[in-house]
Structure 1
Amino acid sequence: MEELMGELVGRAAEAAALGAALDRAAAGNAGIALVSGDAGVGKSHLVGALTRQAARRDWTVLTGQCAELGESIPYMPLADALWRAAREPGAEVLREALETRPVLGRLLPDGDGAPDGASELGQQQLFGAALGLLGELGQRRPVLLVLEDLHWADRSTRHLLTFLSRVLQRERVCLVGTYRSDDLHRRHPLRPVVAELVRLPNVTAVDLRPFAPSETAEYLAYLDGGTPPSAEEVARVHQRSEGNPFYAAELHAAARTGEDLPAGLADLLLARMERLSDDAQRVVRVAAVAGRRVNDELVRRVSGLDERAVGTALREIVEQRLLEPDGADGYRFRHALLAEAAYADLLPGERTRLHAAFAALLAEPPASLLPRAAAERAHHSLAAHDLPVAFAASLRAGREAERMGAPDEAHDHYDRALELWDAVPDADAVAGAAREEISLAAARASARAGDTRRGISRLRRLLAVTDPADLRLGVKIREHLGSLLYELDQDEEATAVLREAVDLLPADPPTPERAGALAAYLRTLVYSEEHARLSALAEEAIAAARATGATDAEASALISLAVYREWREGAAADAAALFGRARDLALAAGNYPVAMRAAYHYARVPFDRGELAAATAAADDGVRLALDHGVEWSTFGTTMRCLQYLIHYTTGDWERADRLADDFAVQVVRAPEALVSAYALFCEVARGSDGVRERLRWIEPLWPQDSLLVYISRGLAAEHCLWNGDPATALGHAEAALAAFDHHDPPSIRAAATVLWAHAERGGVDRATADALLERARAAMVIVPGGYPRVWIGVEGHAWLARVEAEHARALGVNDPELWRRAAEAFTYGDPDGGFVYEVARSRWRLAEALVERGRREEAAEEWRRAVATAERLGAAPLLAALRDLGARARLRPGAAPGDGPEGGSLTALTAREREVLKLVAEGLGNKEIAAALYISPKTASVHVSNIMAKLGVTSRGQAAAVAHRAGL
């Protein structure tokens, strides 16, 4: 059903389930599917794609809809389906079948009227006629019968649905029904029918969930003809639509005309509220003013109704599925737009009075003790035009959000307070701080939330309006501005800003502001020409921080000192202890960005030393720290998540890496998201995944924003092209990855290796170019940008340099086995069975090839077998295919097992589940169909297929199917 899924966004699993039902029906096993979901979630769109696919496969398609007419027209969807199909060109067979079944003919508009639904005999006759009609049509062509909007179905239609679901067995019929789950209140007559049917073995329940943010992004891009939306547009539409495709499309279109809530959408939502009693409608309006979540007691008191009346009203509202219970003391709207529509329907005066009532209640216990009470009071006070109260509550809410690790919310609360500043008498006294201090807090919160550029912009504006005589505030602003500039690799400006900050205040007496500025300045000195000053300045910064209680400044200075000692003095073990101490100090001070910087280095040090078990534990702890404190999208929060993935990729634990990558969105719209997503390419490229191109398509527009993103994604795009026989395109990507960093940066080493690989695949390169690449890699090993020697670089850097030297010789026409042996040994990190598992195997592939060229076949066979074993275990299909090709050409595979094909690989290497998957591959099923048939996720099916191809040593599904057929599977 690949064609079906190509028409849809975010519905792969659902389409696979419906496609599997079609396939079962085509094979003579009737399938029933019940498709549910909220209004607007895409049921009709999904079923429409299914009917078009069935029509393309030359099925008979019958589609009928229920209407909101109660029980007045029995069998309405069946009559609708038959009437529409009978009027289509070429429907002679259907019309003849209807003529032989008068009881069905009477359902049609030109018939003699519907049979008596109360007559048991009439109903049995109609049921039998419907079954016979479907069976007869199915003998000629498979039949798809779609009954839409079953939440409006009459009693007779519900009985017919139950009957067909139970008796359809061997007919070539697929019956699909759709219904709105949000309309199925507790006493809805369809609810027990669904509960009964989903227990039947031939009934598949397909529940359409709302879109995830990445799927909303993809959907908006689809609506705009493929143009990716901005991050702000995705966030706005997804938050308000909550992933409902219809709502998202309406909001997206309305934004073009400046509408807030489209009138048609508002009317649709309000129609549900108008069915309620007067008391229930009043409670809904009060709840809409309260916000998305509604506290039971607050709503009762604001509504003015007595406890019994409110209870009755809430019961009615919940049964109609406008609100749903949320915790022990509250409710929430089933959809945010329901609350918006009800709120917009209030009269202005009514709205103001209700907001004022909520604000008053939230000022006193017990309401003031509720979570987020300050934030809610700020919101209600502002809407009630009580600006002084809104101002004070916003400041309190911002500080609470900072303590809770919610930087996005903290920024919004501080922003609101700043907007109100001029309207509030004696605002400085109320705030307990100057306006500039609150602006600085807002900028810090913005950066902690991952929006570094917005933080920089705010700090620049703040610096421009700050009184130059306020030296301490000027230092603090410059400290944060310089730190953010440094994180965006704007090193020269960062250094200048931070040097200016340090010079504004004298060293004596020590101040926390100068200690913080010194600590930030130290970061820029580690790799600069002024590095010789670092140790002395670090000691000064640490002493000043201790003297003034600036614990976070001490932690930051310790990190820079540790990095300097590691890189200049080779004291990696001592550095690790300093990083751990710095992390603990920053946590104690509540400075989570500094704590994350220390935690990152604490995990990086053992990784660089090849101590992978210690690195794994430290990285896992670091990611938990980021998530616990809401800084997972800060600079080092993002980097820590990438490092965690990279460690598992390195150790060969690709299953864990895949689980981590499940959270790495493909449809990205921000640079931090793109960087995290790019790391998923490591395993995807190594496995030859079909998803590589799609991930790169979303990442590409963000290349100009991040050099590390270019290095990772384009470097891996180059490898993907090389595995797929396109060295020319690969060379372009690899050279772009190489250009992303300075000549002296360690990432240049791996990029140089990929450039040389591409040159070798293109037939070689001139010596000057090859030598320049080799020298650049060697320089990155020993020279930092400031021009002084680097004492320490990790074991991976040494291994990649060995790879560069081997690729350099190969690009010049000399495939030297000793150079490849050195590379393979370097990647083991001193552990023959460990190290960088995949790169050891890749080096052994080239080593075996070089040994074959020198006639050393026994040595070659040993290296080849070890590389094959690793590639099979990892599911590294491209590498295994290359190894199989080498084995076939060099005849390195004597004594192949029975069942091996000429492509290589033995069925004996497959697990029981992999044999099941291979059987379905041989039957021509796609990954989504395999997933539906085996009740696994499409991603799991894709991994199984990749592993199978790797173990069989084949490069296509067709070759895998051929192996299966020859083996009689």
Structure 2
Amino acid sequence: MVWREAGGALIGRSGELDRLVGVLDAAAAGQAGVAAVGGDAGIGKTRLVTELVTRARAQGFAVLIGQCAELGDSLPYLPLADALRVAGDHPDPDLVAAIESWPLLRRLVPGASVEFGPEAGSGLTQQQLFGSMLGFLSDLSETRPVLFVLEDLHWADRSTRDLLVFLSRMLQHERVCLVGTYRTDDLHRRHPLRPLLAELQRLPTVTAVTLGPLDSADMSDYLVSLGGADAKVIGDIIERAEGNPFYAEELLAAEGLPYGLANLLLARVEKLSDPAQRVLRVAAVAGRRVDHELLQKVSGLAGAELEEAMREIVSRGLLLPDGDYGYAFRHALLREAIYTDLLPGERTRLHGEFTRIHDGPPAELAYHYLAGHDLPGALATSVEAGRRADCLGAPAEAHSHYDQALALWHQVPDAARVAGVGRARLAMLSASAANEYGDSHRAVQQMRELMAEEEVTSEFWERFAYYLIDADENPAAIEAAKTAVHLAAAPHPDAEGASAQNAGNDDGDPGHASRSLARALATYARALLWSDRHDEVKDLAGQALAVARSAGVHDAESSALITLAMVADIDGDTERTQELLALASVSSGDLSIDLRAVFHHARIQYERGSLAAAAVSADRGVRLAHEKGLSWSTYGTDLSFLRLLIHYVAGDWEQASAVAASFAVRVGRLPEARLSGYALFIEIARGDAIVEERMAWLKPFWGDGFVAYVVRGLAAEHALWNGDPRAAIEHIEAVITVLEPYDPGMIRICATGLWALAELGDDNRRDQADELLRRAQHAATIGPGSRARGEVGVEGQAWLARAEAEWRRIQGTADPDVWRAVAEAFDYGFVYEVARSRWRLTEALLAAGHREEAHHEWENALAAAEALGAVPLTRALADLGRRARFPSQKPRTAPSTIPHPPPNTSATSPDPATPPSRGAAVSPSRGVTAPAQAGHTAATEPPVSPPSGSALDTLTGREQEVLALVATGMSNREIAQRLFIAQKTVSVHVSNILGKLGVSSRTQAAAYVHHESHPS
């Protein structure tokens, strides 16, 4: 396809164009969007999108256009490379500046040199490229909106398909419009584009546009616009074309009506001169596009003769100029028809000519070698194509090329010399590529197949162990790593030469054994870290560190340091842990290991309460990820979340919200659902309106354990703030089923569940409360099975204190010191949780009669909540202040539905406007409960005194307070809320009162009070 400005009016597609323009306009306004345009071959997809391109350019859009081709499965990122090539042919200052900012993209520009540096095969290169493309589009869209068109996605390689899904998910508020076209008639049941389209169409940012046949009126108008004048001819064409405009156009140009589109296209070719037909056949073999010079060399035509043939072809609209030096078929259907019509020998000969003359990408050459039946050439270029794909960050294509080379291996004499690599090394490269694109099981299978055929090296066994770890086959990984260590430490003399040949380039290298041993020991220690042989890890990692330093193997050194740090952390040696991770964080030359080290360094600093240091480490990791285009890689997103968490804990909620805003709300895949869930920490605490929408999008992913832990755990808090403890308990029960009993996250979950039970105030759930507390304590102290895990961090300890305090609220046995201890436990820097703890401490102090101290704690909590913007907590504290009649609060007018106290009640009696609270919370010192419904918390008041005299004098002070409220008609729960005591305690007091007064009912007790207050 060659892009030209749209000519003439677009006929019959106004509705489809309007939908595409809507996506374009939304992008210009800052709402990124994607359009997937499908339809049969020749139905008008290109013409429709060309119209959109014309309009976008008129509106000042930067336009990028890339085309896939039938070689797409072999050529990674072909449409992206095409788009960058076009940008280079027609320099745009904004485009050039944006590309220069992302060096990895420059590798894709045709003709750019590609060096196989240390990043090749690292497993992060593709994530770097994806991040670079996202950054490139984001940067460019800050200057002007962007339209990026990818044509013929049915031919796209897997890496391009994955890139399209990534961009569709991650582009949110950038001024970017992505448009992809594809043939619906090419999508057989197992076509790889089918699942991608299904995935894209679930995203709310994606608009699906399907082109159907034009109706008769539109077809007639179209043919007239092309010069058709004979009504009978037009009618015949409309009947035969069945609404397909390309077919109709070819029929009109053909002066006859041969059957079938392929025959029709070939009929047009057969009208050309012999040289022109020869050129077209060469161009069809070339593929997607062909340079003028290459056409001349392969066709064998002299300069003037070729120019005359090209003038004839172009004048008939079969090939069109493409760039300054090449040509492309006007429509892919024409190229397919000509290529299919070639004789087998002719096709083989022409492909062979291209291998001798063409200096194109290795993947194209491999295609021509295979089609030309030159197997040695196909083997060599397949290996080279695999290496290039590896370096470009296209592991799926790399794996395909390496597999092709392995399939050819036994058909090529002296294959190792031809390929430039041993078979074992080639198998390892193929397995590595499979592991990099996420198929660790395929990597393991491939390694096992080779092991069944020949003896392999320590390096092979070490990689095998690494892939087994990724495939969750840890026992097998331990055995493989052990074998790797044994082979590296004591290689068999007879196997050394063969091992070197299989390894590839290490023959005669005296340091090879030491490097292999260092990596084998590091992987062995890593495999054992979470096994029941944990005690062996420290010595093994220490050996790995010593050997790695001696041999200068920086990646193994960093890996060993990280493992030793994990051991030190388990042993509770915080200083040693941070020292080791600081050393591991120094660049090892392996980005994966570097990011892993920085992340764990920041994580452990955070877990130990060193928030300032954790922020510095996390910022360094975030910067490193951004600079390398890895912001959206696994460790990149983990570091972003950790940074959000540090902001959240430290009380810097504006920064936390800025990070959360980058996490998509409308999610379609599990990885983005996990990321999106992190935003709920800050959004629920602030009471943001977006919470309900985000949770609705995340609900389909609750089956995932991690999503359930993060999202449903926070959804329980959200339910509590909204006065629904039963819903909160349902969330907590669901999370508990997916967490391991020893997971430290269990502590916070159980603490939230205990909060919900306290709100519910149901004595029949005491056993459930006991079980939640037991789970929390177990998670804080017991490691998995017989494995040591070390103590939980300061936050975990604080949440354990919270769980125990909530349990006491339920039991009615707490005192203010319990909640004061909780506040102190969170006072390592967790501003929000300190404020929440002071909320409960205020209630406990009020219940204990320490009004002045309660007022002080309440003021501190309220100030912190307001400063944070914690709306739900602020409301709860304000309500508590009103109930307690703290000086800064304005009294409220009592609604008439609430009964008033007796006329002789003290002026400082409880606020009659206070509605009854749902549930109870433990009041620490008195062993009684205080209402704790989020946002509706009661507060203590100066006691109400009933009249004295006769039997009333036998009542204790608390019993007199209870009786005065009984006389108003209050229930036991309402009395418990007013006096900050447990409902059960109220029941005991009422029984005692009835006995002392000698009455049998609450009504009689109330009458007794009234009689004594108003004697006749």
Q: State yes or no: 1:847 paired with 2:847.
A: no
1:674: which partner in 2? 673
1:645: which partner in 2? 644
Partners of 2:791 and 2:827 in 1: CA distance:
19
Partners of 1:323 and 1:241 in 2: CA distance:
39
Say if 1:426 and 1:711 are closer, same or farther in 2 by CA, change over 3 A.
farther
1:626-661 Cα offsets, whole Å, 9 max, x none, are 466576676545533432333333334444444444
Say if 1:688 and 1:745 are closer, same or farther in 2 by CA, change over 3 A.
same
Helix, strand or coil: the match of 1:810? helix
1:198: which partner in 2? none
Contact 1:615-1:647 at 8 Å conserved across structures: yes
Partners of 2:656 and 2:16 in 1: CA distance:
32
1:945: which partner in 2? none
Partners of 2:445 and 2:656 in 1: CA distance:
40
Say if 1:43 and 1:287 are closer, same or farther in 2 by CA, change over 3 A.
farther
Partners of 1:686 and 1:324 in 2: CA distance:
57
Amino acid at match of 1:760: A
Partners of 2:440 and 2:850 in 1: CA distance:
61
Amino acid at match of 2:464: R
Say if 1:610 and 1:39 are closer, same or farther in 2 by CA, change over 3 A.
farther
Contact 1:752-1:804 at 8 Å conserved across structures: yes
If the length of structure 2 is used for normalisation, what is the TM-score? 0.55
1:543: which partner in 2? 546
Q: CA deviation at 1:475?
A: 1.6
1:303-356 Cα offsets, whole Å, 9 max, x none, are 9999999999999999x9x9998xx999999xxxx9866755653257999999
Q: Which moved more, 1:291-300 or 1:715-724?
A: 291-300
Q: CA deviation at 1:297?
A: 8.0
Q: State yes or no: 1:456 paired with 2:448.
A: no
Contact 1:213-1:234 at 8 Å conserved across structures: no
1:738: which partner in 2? 736
Say if 1:623 and 1:388 are closer, same or farther in 2 by CA, change over 3 A.
farther
Q: CA deviation at 1:538?
A: 1.7
If the length of structure 1 is used for normalisation, what is the TM-score? 0.57
Helix, strand or coil: the match of 2:457? helix
1:763: which partner in 2? 761
Say if 1:192 and 1:459 are closer, same or farther in 2 by CA, change over 3 A.
closer
Contact 1:661-1:680 at 8 Å conserved across structures: yes
1:127-175 Cα offsets, whole Å, 9 max, x none, are xxxxxxxxxxxxxxxxxxxxxx9xxxxxxxxxxxxxxxxxxxxxxxxxx
Contact 2:465-2:476 at 8 Å conserved across structures: no
Structural RMSD (CA): 5.9
2:706: which partner in 1? 708
Q: Where does 1:279-358 land on structure 2 (aligned, <5 Å)? A: 344=336, 346-348=338-340
Q: CA deviation at 1:561?
A: 0.8
Partners of 1:265 and 1:744 in 2: CA distance:
66
Q: CA deviation at 1:710?
A: 3.1
Equivalent residue in structure 2 for 1:440, among 424, 428, 438: 428
Query: Could you list the runs of 5+ residues in structure 2 that have no partner in the other structure?
Result: 1-9, 24-43, 62-143, 151-163, 171-178, 185-189, 214-239, 254-267, 493-512, 896-934, 937-1016
Query: Could you list the runs of 5+ residues in structure 1 that have no partner in the other structure?
Result: 1-35, 50-148, 150-178, 196-204, 224-228, 252-262, 830-834, 904-952, 955-969
Amino acid at match of 1:883: L
Give the aligned length. Answer: 684
2:50: which partner in 1? 182
1:912-956 Cα offsets, whole Å, 9 max, x none, are xxxxxxxxxxxxxxxxxxxxxxxxxxxxxxxxxxxxxxxxx99xx
1:593: which partner in 2? 592
2:522: which partner in 1? 519
Q: CA deviation at 1:522?
A: 1.5
Q: Where does 1:387-786 land on structure 2 (aligned, <5 Å)? A: 388-418=376-406, 420-421=408-409, 424-449=412-437, 451=438, 454-467=439-452, 470-472=455-457, 475-486=461-472, 494-495=477-478, 498-499=481-482, 502=485, 506=489, 512-546=515-549, 550-572=553-575, 574-584=576-586, 586-587=588-589, 591-626=590-625, 636-666=635-665, 668=667, 670-692=669-691, 694-696=693-695, 699-700=698-699, 702=701, 707-764=705-762, 766-785=765-784
Q: Where does 1:776-925 land on structure 2 (aligned, <5 Å)? A: 776-785=775-784, 787=786, 791=790, 793-814=792-813, 816-829=815-828, 835-892=829-886, 894=888
Helix, strand or coil: the match of 2:452? coil
Identity %: 39
Q: CA deviation at 1:484?
A: 0.9
Partners of 1:538 and 1:814 in 2: CA distance:
49
Partners of 1:580 and 1:511 in 2: CA distance:
25
Say if 1:395 and 1:774 are closer, same or farther in 2 by CA, change over 3 A.
same
1:413-456 Cα offsets, whole Å, 9 max, x none, are 4344445545555443333334443343333334434x2xx213
Contact 1:214-1:666 at 8 Å conserved across structures: no
1:174-193 Cα offsets, whole Å, 9 max, x none, are xxxxx97732787x9x9989
Helix, strand or coil: the match of 2:672? helix
Q: Where does 1:354-393 land on structure 2 (aligned, <5 Å)? A: 373-378=361-366, 381=369, 388-393=376-381
1:235: which partner in 2? 196
Contact 2:465-2:478 at 8 Å conserved across structures: no
Say if 1:344 and 1:181 are closer, same or farther in 2 by CA, change over 3 A.
closer
Helix, strand or coil: the match of 2:571? helix
Q: CA deviation at 1:495?
A: 4.3
Partners of 2:13 and 2:280 in 1: CA distance:
20
Partners of 1:356 and 1:871 in 2: CA distance:
79
Partners of 2:286 and 2:147 in 1: CA distance:
29
Amino acid at match of 1:538: A
Amino acid at match of 2:432: R
1:737-787 Cα offsets, whole Å, 9 max, x none, are 334333323222222212222222222565554344334333433443254
Say if 1:448 and 1:348 are closer, same or farther in 2 by CA, change over 3 A.
same
Q: Where does 1:192-203 land on structure 2 (aligned, <5 Å)? A: none
1:453-497 Cα offsets, whole Å, 9 max, x none, are x213431353155237624266235312332145xxx65565455
Say if 1:298 and 1:878 are closer, same or farther in 2 by CA, change over 3 A.
farther
Say if 1:902 and 1:498 are closer, same or farther in 2 by CA, change over 3 A.
farther
Helix, strand or coil: the match of 1:347? helix
Q: Which moved more, 1:632-641 or 1:305-314?
A: 305-314
Amino acid at match of 2:757: H
> Which structure has the greater CA radius of gyration?
2
Q: CA deviation at 1:534?
A: 2.0
1:169: which partner in 2? none
Amino acid at match of 2:760: R
Q: CA deviation at 1:556?
A: 1.4
Q: CA deviation at 1:568?
A: 0.7
Partners of 2:624 and 2:465 in 1: CA distance:
24
Partners of 2:883 and 2:243 in 1: CA distance:
69
Amino acid at match of 1:235: L
Contact 2:726-2:756 at 8 Å conserved across structures: yes
Q: CA deviation at 1:560?
A: 0.5
Partners of 1:323 and 1:825 in 2: CA distance:
75
Q: Which moved more, 1:505-514 or 1:853-862?
A: 505-514
Say if 1:397 and 1:47 are closer, same or farther in 2 by CA, change over 3 A.
closer
